[in-house]
Amino acid sequence: MGLFKMPYSSVKHSENFWGGALREAVCTFFLTAIVLGLLFVSMILVLHPHLKRFSSDDAKALRINASEFQPISLGGGYKDGGNFLVSDFNEDEAILVLQQQFRAEDFPFIKVNLKGLTRFTTVKLLWQKSASSKIYSREFNGDGGSLTQLSMIFAGEEYSGTISSIALLFYDRPAHGFRNNNGEDILIADIELRTLSMWRIFEQILSDWSNPPLWGASAINTVEGVYPPQLLKPNLAVYLVVLTGLAFAMLRRRLHLGSQDPNSRAPVFAIALSLCLCGWLFNESLRWSWRVEQLVDGRERYAGLELAERIKNNDIRCGMYSDDCASSLYPYF
């Protein structure tokens, strides 16, 4: 027998050992996630006490056709049935206003249903309170060619009391050579004012996790994970699942649950390693969605451009609309 050859029985035992550990870890990971998820649901108002002001039983969700919007700054567009089509910006922006009075505490989530949005356009919700002439704003998070649900939960006193009107602001991101939504039409179907529910909270957490911000630093790009602020950080959720799952595995062994044969059961350290692997894979799946989107954005933004042109088109250093952005930095970047 060779020096590095193992007996078949040893190989088989090793496969059963790690296979059993991984199977138990995967089951423990998902069961723990479900248990902690139910616990999170039951304690949501304790963990986020500011949600209490939105828990109105009398509020009913509203869906308003986009044709109700009135353009106040628009290069080109028209109403098509209940929809509104934006075909051209007014220089670098388009603003549509909806005169709709409502109570802010009735609607913690707002969803604009549209399609045709490109990565070179930013969309913000503007609103004005009845008691003030000041205009507030909050940026939407993109989801491909559409927008995710917008959470107003952390807007504080800015989003409170009676809202007299809201508006949608579309404007060009600082992308050299790309204007008017990169020449694509934006078709807006409607806007939803959504009430508080566990399904909406779950949708907000899921959309936050699956649509991370792309460019989030000044000199060295970092993976922010989710747009701040958020209801639940993915890293915190994974850490809690792994640690709680390990505690469950240790308790299961102490209580002698499952197989009575100790040789057929993987030790705790193997379960711990497998749980860490599950957590790492989950976090990597979120990071890879960011990496893919970053790659697509980079290819569209910089494809075929020389270094000097790439500097002009940098979304971090060139947060302005000037054509000679960062020209003073040539040729050092």
**pLDDT tens, residue by residue, 194-245:** 999 999 999 999 888 888 776 655 444 555 566 677 888 888 899 999 999 9
3-state secondary structure of 100: coil
pLDDT score recorded for residue 238: 92
pLDDT at 66: 95
109-115 and 186-194 as β-strands: parallel, antiparallel, unpaired? Answer: antiparallel
Specify the pTM. Answer: 0.81
Give me the pLDDT at residue 107, please. Answer: 95
55-196 is classed CATH 2.60.120.260? yes
pLDDT digits (tens, 9 = 90+) for 92-109: 899 999 999 999 999 999
From 50-59, 73-82, 145-154, the region with the lowest mean pLDDT: 50-59
The reported pLDDT for the residue numbered 230 is 82
Rounded CA-CA distance 163/135 in Å is 11
- Region for residue 211 given its phi and psi (left: phi exceeds 0; alpha: psi -120 to 50; beta: otherwise): beta
Over residues 40-62, the mean pLDDT reads: 86
Give 166 or 303, the one with higher predicted confidence: 166
Residue-level pLDDT at 142: 86
Q: What mean pLDDT is predicted for residues 151-172?
A: 92
Q: What is the DSSP string of 212-228?
A: --S---SSS-----SPS
| Span of 8-22, 221-235, 287-301 with lowest mean pLDDT | 8-22
| Of residues 283 and 168, more confidently modeled | 168
Q: Map out the domains of the chain as residue ranges.
A: 8-41+231-300, 55-196
Q: What tokens does 193 get?
A: 């004012």
User: Distance between CA 154 and CA 278 in Å, rounded?
Assistant: 31
Window from 17-26, 86-95, 159-168 with minimum mean pLDDT: 17-26
Please tell me the predicted confidence (pLDDT) of residue 283.
86
Q: What is the pLDDT of residue 273?
A: 87
* Mode of pairing for the β-strands spanning 162-172 and 121-129: antiparallel
The predicted pLDDT at position 8 comes to 39
pLDDT digits (tens, 9 = 90+) for 111-150: 999 999 998 898 999 999 998 889 999 999 888 889 999 9
Cβ–Cβ < 8 Å for 147, 114: yes
Closest C-alpha to 109, from 65, 69, 62: 62
